[in-house]
Amino acid sequence: MPATGRRALVIWAAAAAVYLLAMFHRTTLGVAGLQAADRFGITAAELGTFTVLQIGLYAAMQVPTGLLVDRFGPRRVLTAAALGMGAGQVLFAVASSYPLALVARGVLGISDAMSFVSVLRVVAAHYPPRKYALLASVTAALGQLGNLLATVPLTFLLANAGWTATFAIAGAATAAYSLVVLVRVRDTPDGEQEPSPATSLREVVGQVRLAWRVPGTRLGFWVHFATMFSPGVLSLLWGYPYLVQGQGLSPAAAGSVLSLLVLVSMATAPVIGQLMSRWPESRMPMVAWFLVAAVLVWAVLLGWPGGVVPPPVLAVAFAIFAVGGPLSGVAFALARDYNPIHRVGTASGVVNVGGFTAITVSALGVGLLIGGDTASAGPSTFRMAFLAVTTVLLLGAWRTLVWWRRARAAVFAAETRGDEVPVRIRRRPWDIPAEQEAATS
């Protein structure tokens, strides 16, 4: 590997490690949810508020993060993200009241929001476009390692070191890593990015509006919405209570099943990234097959007689859901392909809102449908509560189909005009109505 290649790899790895830490902090409540309910004396709905607040702030920060990266460069933004996540987790470690714990998770959500889009900008600056999809997928897979650390190892530490020590150490280590970011990460191959001039609110709104009007961006939003929220809502909060309280698994067995969300995602992400890079026309068919599989799996879980699903079936179901994480990378490839380079950051931020909006809505819905004490919820309670998840999934699948047809129509219209298109696709009979719809809209 040439020196420039080694240098780019070191820079990417140092930046991607911030995303790994972000995924760890984001998913800690996935196994600490029951302890949090006991520590703060809260109901299932209040427990769900942790995730709703954290992920809601994450979603709200995506467009501002894109603008911050455009103006100040990813190095500064990633440094701020590491410091913020560390401070938020230390505050969560010492919090003894529910309101203070909410503030801590809010700080985590805002800081976490600045990680992934910043790493994508580092990739775009240091690698050629043909490697973008692959590196984005590998980044997502590396992030899943943080998710893995938040399952079995975190369960062990909580049981042996206790709440305060576990989260305080995690927070302090993350804050300290900001020094590595300052030393290793570079905005461009030439070094530091000069801060760009301030952007007015009107210009910001205009850039977001222009990105949203692009059918490829809109399709990316709904792809992200539909693919990544099922594994997200299970790993972030409700998977562990569902497996322990709703299915009767031991904490160790539940942690093992949850770890499949991470292991399968890590194993499939490079494969999916390679497929997207070599055969970009395969991106949306892969998404469509996953959505069909996800609907069928949820139907099996919620329709199982008696509500208690055999552990092997649970393992297969969680493994299938895990594929949605890597497939959500299709959304960012769409944002890059169908927007001019100066608007890719904004478009990526808009796309990234999709999945986290779905997680926020479904996590809140599950908490409200469970209602009272999480520890007393049984199979029938979770079966009813997870109807919120299936409703969001069906909505996302429908809107993905609608915008897939419209995006294809836009590509065919561009080809007809003689414009260059990023991906050539074959016309199907069902494309004709979509073209007519685009022509009349």
- The pLDDT of residue 150: 74
Given a cut of 80, whether residue 432 has pLDDT beyond it is: no
pLDDT over 60 (residue 299):
yes
Assigned domain for 177 exists: yes
Is residue 4's pLDDT more than 60?
Answer: no
Assigned domain for 162 exists: yes
Per the structure, the complete domain to which residue 396 belongs is given by: 3-187+206-440
User: Cα(334)–Cα(221) distance, rounded to whole angstroms?
Assistant: 9
pLDDT at 200: 67
Is the residue at 193 inside a domain?
A: no
Segments of 367-417 assigned E as strands: none
DSSP string, 278-340: H-GGGHHHHHHHHHHHHHHHHHHHHHSTTS---HHHHHHHHHHHHTHHHHTHHHHHHHHHTS-
Whether residue 318 has pLDDT greater than 70: yes
Q: What is the CATH number of the domain that holds 357?
A: 1.20.1250.20
Instruction: Place 220 in a pLDDT band, splitting at 50, 70 and 90.
Output: very high
Which pLDDT score is estimated for 195?
58
Residues with Cβ within 8 Å of 202's Cβ and at least 6 positions away in sequence, in order, are none
Q: How far is CA 439 from CA 16, 79, 221, 399, in A?
A: 42, 47, 22, 19
Q: How many domains does the chain have?
A: 1
- Residue 86 near residue 119 (C-beta atoms within 8 A): no
Non-local (6+) Cβ contacts of 29 within 8 A are 36, 50, 51, 236, 237
Q: Phi/psi class of residue 139: alpha, beta or left (left: φ > 0; alpha: ψ in -120 to 50)?
A: alpha
Tell me the average pLDDT across 67-71: 80
pLDDT value for 3: 42
Residue 70 lies in a domain: yes
What does pLDDT average to over the chain?
A: 84
Round to the nearest angstrom and report the end-to-end CA distance of the chain: 51
* Residue 196 covered by a domain: no
Q: Is 418 inside a domain boundary?
A: yes
pLDDT at 1: 37
**What are 348-401's pLDDT values in tens digits?**
888 988 988 898 888 888 888 887 666 666 778 888 889 999 999 999 999 999
Give me the mean pLDDT over the 101-112 stretch.
92
Burial tier of 424 (Cβ tally within 10 Å: 0-12, 13-18, 19+): exposed
Query: What DSSP string describes 180-224?
Result: HHHHH--SBTTBPPPPPPP--HHHHHHHHHHHHHSHHHHHHHHHH
Cβ atoms 88, 108 nearer than 8 A:
yes
* More confident position, 217 or 337: 217
Distance CA(132)–CA(382), nearest Å, equals 40
Is residue 35 a contact partner of residue 166, using CB atoms and an 8 Å limit? no
Question: Is 194 contained in some domain?
Answer: no
- Of the CA atoms within 13 Å of residue 297, those in its CB half-sphere come to 22
Residue 290 has pLDDT above 90, yes or no: yes
3-state secondary structure of 371: coil
pLDDT at 196 over 70: no
pLDDT band of residue 223 (cuts 50, 70, 90) is: very high
Residues in the chain: 441
Rg of the chain's alpha carbons, rounded to an integer? 21
Separation between Cα atoms, residue 382 and residue 387, nearest integer Å: 9
Nearest to 325 by CA among 9, 19, 18, 13: 19
In a domain, 328, yes or no: yes
For the cut 90, the answer to whether the pLDDT of residue 320 exceeds it is yes
